[in-house]
Amino acid sequence: MLRLIVSRLIFMVLAAFLLLSFLFALFHLIPGDPAQLMAGDNAPEHLVQSIRAAYGFDQPLTTQYFNYMGKVLQGDFGLSNYSRQPVLDIVFPRIVNTAALAGCAMLLAMTTSLILGSFSAMFWNRPLDKGVTVVSLIGICTPVFVTGIIGIYVFAVWLRWLPIGGMSTWKHFVLPVATLGAYQAAIFTRMVRSCMVDALSRDFITTARAKGAPERTVVFHHALRNALLPIITLFGLGLGHTLGGSVVTETIFNWPGLGRLMVDAILSRDLPVLQGSIFFFAIIFILVNLIVDILYTWADPRISYD
Amino acid sequence: MTTHKKRVARGVAYMAAAATINAAPLFAQDMEPQYGGELIYAQSGEKFSLFPGRNTDNGAQDIWLNACENLFEINEDSELVPVLAESWEVSDDEKTVTIKLREGVAFHDGTPFNGEAVAFVFNEAKEKEFIYMSLLEGFDYADAPSENEVAFHLAAPFAALLPNLAYKPLCIFSPTAYQEMGEEGMATKIVGTGPFTHEEYVKGEYNLFVKNENYWQDELPYLDSIRMLVVPDPATRTAMLESGEIDRTVQISDFDLPRLEANPELTVRTMASTRQFYVVLNHMKAPFDNQDVRLALNYAIDKAGIVQSVFAGTGATVPMAPTLSPGVYGYTDMRKDGEDSIFQYDADKARSMLTDAGFEDRNGDGTIEGEDGTELSFKLWTRRGGTKGDYQVAQLLQAFLGEIGIGIDLEVMEGAAFSAAVSQPPEDAKYEMALLSWGIPTADPDEPMMYFTHTKAWKPKGANRMFFSSSEIDRLADLAHTTTDQEKRKEYVVAWMAQLLEEAPVIYLPTIHLTLGSRSYVHGDRILATDNYPAVSAWIDQEEKARQGIKR
Amino acid sequence: MRNFLRQFSRDRVGVVFGLILIAIYIVAITAQWIVPSDPYKTQLSQGMRPPSWEHWFGTDQFGRDMLSRVILATQVTAKITTSALLFAVLLGVPIGMIVGYHGGWLDEIIMRITDIMLIFPIIMLAIVIVVIAGPSERGVVIALGMSQLPQFIRIARGVTLSVKQELYVEAAIAAGAGWPFILRRHIWPNISTPVIVQATLTLPVFVLNASALSYLGLGVQPPTPEWGQMLNEAKELLIAAPYLIIGPSVALFLFVISANLLGDSLQETLNPKTKGQRMKREFQKFSRRGLKPGKMRVERAARAEIQR
């Protein structure tokens, strides 16, 4: 157990290190003078000079590399090209907003899929099961920007029930969370169903049934508990996936999250903000990954890692 | 120096005479303004800087005008009215203009507003080459003869000084705050004397302005606060207005107007403006230094088609004169007889002009080449949603120029990057073509003549992003700038426009109408021909707001 | 082959959607000739017409026929996704075979890099790569191809590792055959089936992500039509012309669902059904989207769970 955590931590550090190298390379992969890129196209010459000196862009590449590492490890991603605020100050509130969106979407997806998946397995190969299968298939094949636009048209423009844009009240959460959550729920439902079908075909289920346990107990007590292990992993993996989906969802609904910040930074060529948002997204993915691995081993000690 | 009050700015006289292009204010005059409440105003894009010395973007002006005031203002009737100024005198040689300032005014940081502060702002502007300096061509230095006076010392008489001082970027910010925070600090926090103080800046989300309790006009402002949201997508803004999530918005798609106008809970105001779309051609790059090519490009664009399909036929008008629009002094219809716009659409003519200039399709790939075989294929930079219809106009330009064999790649940039990228000096400017729009905030031709096409106005100083230089056009502009004879001046303006039609420094495109949509409980807010939408005197009818079921 | 076809033809869903997918590809290949009108031709007086017999999906703001644009977009999407698949396969499979065969430090490095890449969702990888490659068709191809490279490296490596231990391969090595020969002659034939299955399963993922990139403005640029980009433009006119979202949405959905179902069927036919197969497949599919380093481990774990 301890060995696992240590090895995963080493992996994490390695990943973070590669990530930083990549971000450093970003300066040199994107054509142009790195100091000018950092400062922004409109920056006066004295500012470009001071950045060149501060980041040592005039020094050899290796020196630059270590300097950059040092800066980033101190949390210094520089200033936004345009608003001239520290990147950290811009990114942190956005992380909270993205977490709120992804968290709610995950909750929605988990509850929906557990309910639908279990019932689907319970009524295996019956009309209910087939209906759920078809609906979840449709869900998987419809990208969030299609569901989002249709949602906006129906609920905001046509019926005028729900607001769009921003996140000031709970009503603002409904459409983005439903859009992102529904897509995730479709994926989860299929897998929860598979896990449950599998669990229900086991010998101990037959035994339980033979003992005369009611079907509800069989499904929700015996089968679900046994299917829970893969399902937990699945949800863990799904969290990373949901965060990825939030990029598009945030753009559709003008959600002030990290994903939209990243897209805006690309379209506005704001390299420091772009680096900051990539870095924090990546750190979140690495952390999620670590937690899933540890959770899984903890839940089932028979799994060992090489 | 004469001591009697004299109207130096000849601009003022004719501006009062100029056609009033405003609709009458729609708010009920007989209603008593109510205090309190927050106004939520959604705007298009994010601004790269809120520091007036570095940004002349109209959306940004709408943000800082809440906090930062000018000496003068041009009102709805295109009249020049004093704001922070009280009166002015001009010396006999017309080289010194002394402005008496309002007393008892303080900046938001508590420092006094006085002659020294005003002089500092303009001396600093000259020294640091603020973006608007070409508007003050001839300005030498400013000083403070007394506590409440500022004197502008001019190298040469300068007709449009006062109307130019009304241009929003020339607002008076606090020198103390500026010295403490620098330009960079001011980019996100503007400190002036205005009715609202700038409380919060959240990048990409909103700007919050809170009532200035010490405002020099005792009754004002009515609102407790103004929250300005960044909502890039016009359809989203429209839907937000309809559902009551926001109180007002601008740059609405013209296709949505009939629906909004039919809604009794909304007020939609539309007015003609001086805002004309145009395509910057970078004359530093071949073949845009070739006058024949530029003329051909102008003929290739179906201006009426753009008005029809991007602006629903009602939201814009075809250009009838280069750069100037009705309402600007000296404006004259420059169309040829029987033509619907200047450079009336004629693709065949454009093609043959290009052929005559040595550009034709030599290898049969559908794109034309010059004599040395280089393809006429360019990048067109544009914003998306900065000004209504910009991205759609860019797509149509791509289609029209494709028709005559010129390849266009669109490069879409978010507002801040775009403003920055088209504000470069000639050696750094990377664009070949860029779609922009141009308004004349002073309603005076002096601004476009000195700031737009003059050789002295090359970026980064003015707005001559084409790096266009014509001795004849400069000569006419200089004559108009210094003459005191109004008839003569008008003659120069017309000659200047005629010369522009000869040389075609840019591609001329339609002039848009301005639209302001607001909830019907918002009163007292204004729409100016300068494409500004000040909400400083706005107030909210709380009863009506509650009746509409809007709880905020 | 005949055996495969006989088995496959029994799967009715697979056959139907396989045919639909073939039809989509025929439309894509013949797009230039079957469009009812020029998809680039603007007719400003015919802008924003609702669907009619003449224009099935209506016309856009500039009077361009939406049906024609949807058809041409099919070609654009098919071209991008197929190129991206080729990119991933042609680069990933050789790398996987070579590192699998030789092992050692190179194998270790490549595997760690793929581990790290698998942490990130495909859309995130694609966005970052497209920033470097530039927002264009080519940029999308590179971004998608690169982001799925680890999958193909892993598959090729896995097969290589197991085949290498077969007796006949060991015999060939003993007989002094060079490694290029062994890779080509003995290992490649075993790789093609799993690679084909993986490619079919990757196709819908590519379609979804290519249009997501274009929706964000980072992919295909106008005037070239692309479904995601068309939907983005339709969103601006959502109030005035809601019908503009019909065409691109329907086409996108049809492409993705037929590719998905065909992938399912192919996998079922090519890999004979075993206990837990279904579960494994779900996990594979999930990992394609969710991507994580422990993919193999989770599968193993899931299998362990099933097979106890």
C164 and C300 fall within a common domain: no
- Inspect the interface and report whether the beta carbons of B235 and C237 lie closer than 8 Å: yes
Q: ipTM score here?
A: 0.85
Residue-wise pLDDT for B145-196, tens only, equals: 888 889 888 888 777 788 888 888 889 999 999 988 888 788 888 899 989 9
Q: pLDDT value at position A95? A: 92
Q: pLDDT value at position B62? A: 85
Nearest CA in chain A to B415: A268
Higher pLDDT, C156 or B440: C156
| Token duo for residue B530 | 């300068």
Cβ contacts of C49 on chain B, cutoff 8 Å = none
In this predicted structure, the answer to whether residue A306 has a pLDDT above a threshold of 70 is no
- Inspect the interface and report whether the beta carbons of B201 and A83 lie closer than 8 Å: yes
Higher pLDDT, B56 or C152: C152
Three-class DSSP category at B146: strand
C143 and C216 fall within a common domain: yes
Higher pLDDT, C256 or B15: C256
**How far is residue C150's CA from residue C157's CA, in Å, rounded to a whole number?**
10
Peptide bond into B169 cis (omega under 30): no
Interval B12-30 mean pLDDT: 38
C202 and C288 fall within a common domain: no
H helix or E strand, kind and range, residue C173: helix C167-174
Interval B201-224 mean pLDDT: 87
| Token duo for residue C124 | 């995130």
C155 and C304 fall within a common domain: no
- As a whole number of Å, the CA-based R_g of chain C is 22
Substitution target from B47, B184, B203, B552 for chain A, most A beta carbons within 10 A:
B203
Q: Output phi, psi for B249, to 5 deg.
A: -155, 165
Query: What parts of chain C have a pLDDT lower than 50?
Result: 273-279, 285-308
Per the prediction, chain B carries an average pLDDT of 84
Which residue in the set B306, B392, B412 is minimally distant from C217, CB to CB?
Answer: B412
- Inspect the interface and report whether the beta carbons of A268 and B414 lie closer than 8 Å: yes
**How far is residue C293's CA from residue C286's CA, in Å, rounded to a whole number?**
13
Name all chains with 3 or more CB-CB pairs below 8 Å to chain A.
Answer: B, C
Lowest model confidence (mean pLDDT) among B23-27, B91-95, C43-47, C65-69:
B23-27
Cβ atoms within 10 Å of B92's Cβ, excluding its own = 9
* Domain assignment of residue C288, given as a range: 277-308
| Token duo for residue C275 | 């206990």
Answer whether B202 touches A (CB < 8 Å): yes
C302 and C232 fall within a common domain: no
Residue-wise pLDDT for B271-324, tens only, equals: 888 889 999 999 988 889 999 999 999 999 999 999 999 998 889 999 999 988
In chain B, % of residues over pLDDT 70: 92
Q: Is B301 exposed, middle or buried (0-12, 13-18, 19+ CB in 10 A)?
A: buried
Cβ contacts of A93 on chain B, cutoff 8 Å = 202
End-to-end Cα, chain B, rounded Å: 56
- Inspect the interface and report whether the beta carbons of C62 and B255 lie closer than 8 Å: no
A36, B148, B417 from A45: Cα distances, Å: 9, 37, 17
Q: pLDDT value at position A135? A: 92
**How far is residue C50's CA from residue C59's CA, in Å, rounded to a whole number?**
7
In this predicted structure, the answer to whether residue B97 has a pLDDT above a threshold of 90 is no
Residue-wise pLDDT for B500-550, tens only, equals: 999 999 999 999 998 889 998 998 888 877 778 888 888 888 888 888 888
CB B172 within 8 A of CB B121: yes
Q: Output phi, psi for B145, to 5 deg.
A: -60, -30
Confidence of residue A45 (pLDDT cuts 50, 70, 90): low
Q: Which amino acid appears at position B365 of this protein? A: D
| Token duo for residue B401 | 């120029």
Answer whether B314 touches C (CB < 8 Å): no
Cβ contacts of A163 on chain B, cutoff 8 Å = 240, 243, 245
Answer whether C82 touches B (CB < 8 Å): no
| Token duo for residue C213 | 């990139």
CB C125 within 8 A of CB C150: no
- Which residues, 6+ apart, have CB-to-CB distance to B128 below 8 Å? B53, B183
CB pairs under 8 A between A and B: 94
Domains of chain B: 272-512 (3.10.105.10)
Interval A138-166 mean pLDDT: 87
Interval A256-263 mean pLDDT: 90
Cβ contacts of C61 on chain B, cutoff 8 Å = 309-310, 392
**Of A226, A206, A283, A205, which is closest to residue A12 (Cα–Cα)?**
A283
In this predicted structure, the answer to whether residue B346 has a pLDDT above a threshold of 90 is yes
Q: pLDDT value at position C92? A: 94
**Of B217, B166, B170, which is closest to residue B196 (Cα–Cα)?**
B217
> If you search the block for the tokens 């020198």, which residue do you land on?
B175
Answer whether A245 touches C (CB < 8 Å): yes
Q: Which amino acid appears at position C20 of this protein? A: I
Nearest CA in chain A to C287: A237
The CATH number that applies at residue C196 is 1.10.3720.10
Cβ contacts of B259 on chain C, cutoff 8 Å = 239-240
Name all chains with 3 or more CB-CB pairs below 8 Å to chain C.
Answer: A, B
Distance of CA B368 to the CA centre of its chain: 36
Q: Quote the minimal CA–CA distance from B502 to chain C in Å.
A: 29
Q: Quote the minimal CA–CA distance from B520 to chain C in Å.
A: 21
**Of B38, B62, B36, B64, which is closest to residue B51 (Cα–Cα)?**
B64
| Token duo for residue B483 | 């003459």
- Inspect the interface and report whether the beta carbons of C252 and A146 lie closer than 8 Å: yes
- Which residues, 6+ apart, have CB-to-CB distance to C134 below 8 Å? none
Q: pLDDT value at position A30? A: 61
**How far is residue A291's CA from residue A8's CA, in Å, rounded to a whole number?**
10
Distance of CA B120 to the CA centre of its chain: 25
Q: Quote the minimal CA–CA distance from B334 to chain A in Å.
A: 37
Cβ atoms within 10 Å of A305's Cβ, excluding its own = 13
Interval B344-357 mean pLDDT: 92
Q: pLDDT value at position A52? A: 67
Domain locations in chain A? 2-73, 88-299
Tell me the Ramachandran region of residue A177: left when phi exceeds 0, alpha when psi lies from -120 to 50, beta otherwise: alpha
CB A18 within 8 A of CB A282: no
Q: How many domains are there within chain C? A: 2
| Token duo for residue B336 | 């040829």
Substitution target from B38, B41, B48 for chain A, most A beta carbons within 10 A:
B48
Confidence of residue B20 (pLDDT cuts 50, 70, 90): very low
Interval A88-99 mean pLDDT: 90
**How far is residue B463's CA from residue B323's CA, in Å, rounded to a whole number?**
13
Q: pLDDT value at position A205? A: 78
User: Which top CATH class is A88-299?
Assistant: mainly alpha
H helix or E strand, kind and range, residue B154: strand B149-154
In this predicted structure, the answer to whether residue A304 has a pLDDT above a threshold of 50 is no
Which residue in the set B54, B245, B416 is minimally distant from A268, CB to CB?
Answer: B416
**How far is residue B512's CA from residue B319's CA, in Å, rounded to a whole number?**
10
Which residues are bridge partners to B211 per DSSP? Answer: B196
DSSP code for B311: S
**Of A290, A299, A292, A297, which is closest to residue A225 (Cα–Cα)?**
A299
Answer whether C228 touches A (CB < 8 Å): yes
